[in-house]
């Protein structure tokens, strides 16, 4: 009997990051990666974006586990938010699991670690309807793995982030023998990395990158600030090696980098010579020509920290004349503008900039040739390009056609798509939750499109506040409206505009009282509309108008005053009792003592 198989795209296509895919075999669901992405400039105030957590509300009882390919944020970043509410087992290599624990504990310190399970490339896990196994891949982290979900209908293979590099060192090598073994079983569907599909030139070999970094360190006589992602372990190792060979010490900035580096050292993935790392207290003792500052910034993103250094806002480091800022990772296309702005700030501060990505072709992702080689090795029946923006998925499809695949067997998907196997082919079926969940501070998903639209308006034209007190029974304004603004105009230079706005508020309230039955919502809406029209007519701008209407009732106020006066009179007329008598006697004695004391003072 054939199995019910669905492949669900939860995140990671037509975007950069936020990788999460799901394979359903009968009533079991296997989640492949659970990542986040960093927001672009349009997501004002948003910290990170993760996949739609409503998927787990709908299908959480069917999820057998979350399987991780590597420890970068685009593969593990959503775990802290998923594991807040769902006890789902998590599987990954030793380093990947340790990095996942750091990420989860950063958001939830009380989260227990009993959900995490360490596996390796030789592990095979049997479930009720399918088995899950793994294979070694080459990426910028050691022990990165691809995932194979084995079903009766064939193998479903997910590569995660990968590339091919014959010169890769131990812990980074791709297991081509294992790929061939999976291919012989028959690959039903291949979900393959598309991030670097448009690369024309092959990636430089790792030995060439090591020599380039070493020469950079040798040829600079001053202080070096190396900027890298915290989780790019291979780049961190190359910086350590170059520093040791050129007689330099390394200072680590940021808690994220420290945790990741010391974790990798403890597990044996980083080789750090004794005495190489120094503490902040030793910085003043070390000459500039003997110092490398390794900077990653919050959540491993170095660019914002470099900007703070250039503007003298960093808590530890200030860029000065003679510094070399070495950007040791290849930035994605989405942050190229930010890289240019950061470089400009560094030069203004007196430093110089050198980018590894300009001089060398280096990436942790497969080039077009690598993708074609993988297709030729795996011989998949169907290809689902994954992990990349739309143009990259399209390029990946074209590369697959060049490699001999039928275009009808290649599926370009979007987040929320669900492909179901029916009669030997995949067809689109009912969609699954695939929207973005935005994280702002500790809030998860409480910022949506409406809030973002309001933030955009506030950032464009500011806010205008009009406060007024009314007596609705007498239908009149008690006090003159007070108007204020932020981010709209400078009040002291625009008295006429503000006075006109006050009159617009008065007119709106008077018209409402005269022509409408009193309703709070309608009154505020009338004030908002009239003030918006007035401000737009005068300035051509549309700030957010916030009317604050307060109520006071004069009759009720007078009645309250009368009640308080009557209460005081009643208290004064209270019946004379023994307690009153004792109190009066004490007071009389006090006065008598005072008189006696005064007479004594006179006699003295």
Q: How many CB atoms lie within 10 A of CB 260?
A: 26
- How many angstroms separate the CA atoms of 273 and 289, rounded? 19
- DSSP string for 449-469: HHHHHHHHHHHHH-EEEEEEE
For 46, 240, 436, 440, 604, the CA distances from 446, given in Å and listed in that order, are 11, 42, 12, 8, 81
**Closest by Cα among 44, 17, 75, 74 to 333:** 17
- How many angstroms separate the CA atoms of 497 and 415, rounded? 48
Residue 71: Cβ-neighbour burial (10 angstroms; 0-12, 13-18, 19+)? buried
- How many angstroms separate the CA atoms of 439 and 77, rounded? 11
Asked whether 75 and 69 are in contact (CB, 8 A), the reply is: yes
The two tokens of residue 532 are: 């918006």
Cα 256-220-262 angle, rounded to 5 deg: 20
Asked whether 378 and 183 are in contact (CB, 8 A), the reply is: yes
User: Is 186 annotated among the ligand-binding residues?
Assistant: no
User: Is 363 annotated among the ligand-binding residues?
Assistant: yes
Distance of CA 383 to the CA centre of its chain: 30
**Closest by Cα among 479, 468, 451, 477 to 544:** 451
DSSP state of 69: S
**Closest by Cα among 213, 192, 202, 221 to 287:** 221
For 217, 235, 315, 346, 356, the CA distances from 309, given in Å and listed in that order, are 20, 22, 8, 8, 20
Distance of CA 211 to the CA centre of its chain: 34
DSSP state of 140: S
User: Is 249 annotated among the ligand-binding residues?
Assistant: no
User: Is 361 annotated among the ligand-binding residues?
Assistant: yes
Distance of CA 264 to the CA centre of its chain: 24
- How many angstroms separate the CA atoms of 253 and 235, rounded? 16
Which residues are known binding-site members?
A: 361-365
Which residues are known binding-site members for substrate?
A: 361-365
């Amino acid at each position: 009997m054939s199995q019910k198989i669905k492949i669900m795209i939860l995140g990671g296509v037509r975007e950069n990051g936020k990788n999460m895919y799901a394979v359903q075999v009968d009533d079991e669901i296997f989640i492949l990666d659970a990542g986040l992405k960093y927001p672009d400039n349009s997501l004002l105030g948003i910290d990170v974006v993760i996949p739609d957590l409503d998927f787990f509300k709908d299908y959480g009882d069917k999820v057998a586990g979350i399987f991780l390919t590597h420890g970068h944020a685009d593969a593990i970043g959503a775990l802290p938010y998923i594991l807040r509410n769902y006890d789902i087992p998590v599987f990954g290599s030793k380093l990947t699991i340790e990095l996942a624990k750091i990420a989860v504990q950063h958001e939830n310190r009380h989260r227990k670690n009993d959900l995490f399970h360490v596996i390796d490339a030789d592990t095979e896990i049997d479930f009720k309807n399918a088995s899950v196994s793994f294979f070694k891949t080459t990426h910028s982290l050691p022990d990165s793995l691809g995932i194979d979900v084995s079903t009766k209908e064939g193998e479903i293979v997910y590569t995660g982030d990968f590339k091919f590099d014959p010169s890769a060192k131990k812990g980074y090598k791709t297991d081509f023998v294992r790929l061939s073994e999976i291919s012989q079983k028959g690959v039903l569907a291949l979900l393959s990395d598309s991030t670097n599909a448009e690369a024309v030139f092959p990636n430089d070999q790792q030995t060439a990158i090591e020599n380039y970094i070493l020469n950079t360190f040798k040829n600079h006589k001053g202080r070096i600030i190396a900027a890298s992602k915290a989780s790019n372990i291979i780049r961190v190792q190359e910086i350590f090696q170059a520093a040791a060979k050129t007689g330099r010490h390394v200072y680590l900035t940021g808690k994220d980098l420290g945790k990741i580096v010391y974790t990798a050292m403890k597990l044996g993935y980083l080789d750090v010579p004794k005495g190489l790392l120094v503490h902040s207290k030793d910085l003043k003792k070390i000459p500039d020509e003997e110092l490398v500052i390794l900077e990653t910034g919050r959540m491993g993103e170095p660019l914002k920290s470099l900007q703070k250094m250039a503007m003298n806002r960093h808590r530890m480091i200030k860029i000065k004349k003679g510094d070399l800022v070495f950007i040791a990772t290849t930035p994605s296309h989405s942050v190229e503008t930010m890289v240019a702005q950061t470089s400009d700030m560094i030069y203004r501060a007196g430093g110089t900039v050198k980018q590894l990505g300009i001089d060398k072709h280096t990436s942790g992702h497969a080039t077009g040739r690598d993708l074609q080689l993988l297709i030729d090795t795996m011989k998949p029946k169907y290809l689902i390009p994954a992990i990349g923006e739309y143009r990259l998925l399209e390029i990946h499809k074209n590369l697959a056609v060049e490699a001999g695949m039928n275009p009808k067997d290649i599926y370009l998907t979007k987040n929320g798509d669900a492909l179901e196997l029916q009669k030997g082919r995949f067809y689109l079926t009912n969609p699954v939750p695939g929207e973005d969940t935005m994280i702002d501070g500790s809030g998860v998903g409480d910022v949506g499109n409406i809030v973002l639209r309001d933030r955009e308006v506030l950032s464009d034209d500011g806010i205008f506040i009009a406060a007024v007190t009314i007596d609705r029974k007498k239908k009149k304004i008690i006090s003159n409206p007070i108007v204020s603004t932020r981010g709209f105009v400078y009040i002291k230079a625009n008295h006429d505009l503000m006075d006109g706005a006050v009159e617009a508020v008065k007119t709106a309230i008077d018209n409402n009282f005269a022509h409408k039955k009193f309703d709070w919502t309608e009154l505020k809406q009338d004030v908002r509309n009239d003030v918006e029209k007035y401000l737009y007519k005068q300035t051509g701008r549309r700030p957010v108008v916030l009317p604050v209407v307060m109520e006071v009732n004069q009759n009720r106020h007078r009645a309250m005053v009368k009640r308080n006066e009557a209460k005081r009179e009643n208290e004064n007329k209270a019946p004379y009792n023994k307690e009153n008598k004792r109190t009066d006697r004490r007071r009389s004695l006090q006065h008598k003592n005072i008189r006696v004391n005064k007479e004594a003072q006179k006699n003295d």
